[in-house]
Amino acid sequence: MPKIKIPTPLRQYTAGNSEVEVGGATAGETLGNLASEYPDLRQHLYTGDGKLRSFVNVYKGDEDIRYLDGADTEVSEGDELSIIPSIAGGAAKRRCR
Site for other proteins in 55-94 (CB under 8 A): 55, 57, 59, 62-64, 67, 82, 84-94
Nearest Cα residue to 2 out of 58, 75, 68, 62 = 75
3-state secondary structure 39-69: HHHHHHHECCCCCECCCEEEEECCEEHHHCC
Nearer to other proteins, 21 or 63 (CB): 63
Nearer to other proteins, 23 or 47 (CB): 47
Q: What is the spatial distance between Cα 65 and Cα 28, in angstroms, rounded to a whole number?
A: 10
Contact string (CB under 8 A) for other proteins, positions 7-46, x = contact: xxx--x-----x------------------------xx--
Note whether 85 and 53 are within 8 A (CB). no
Instruction: Note the residues at the interface with other proteins (CB under 8 A).
Output: 7-9, 12, 18, 43-44, 53-55, 57, 59, 62-64, 67, 82, 84-94, 96-97
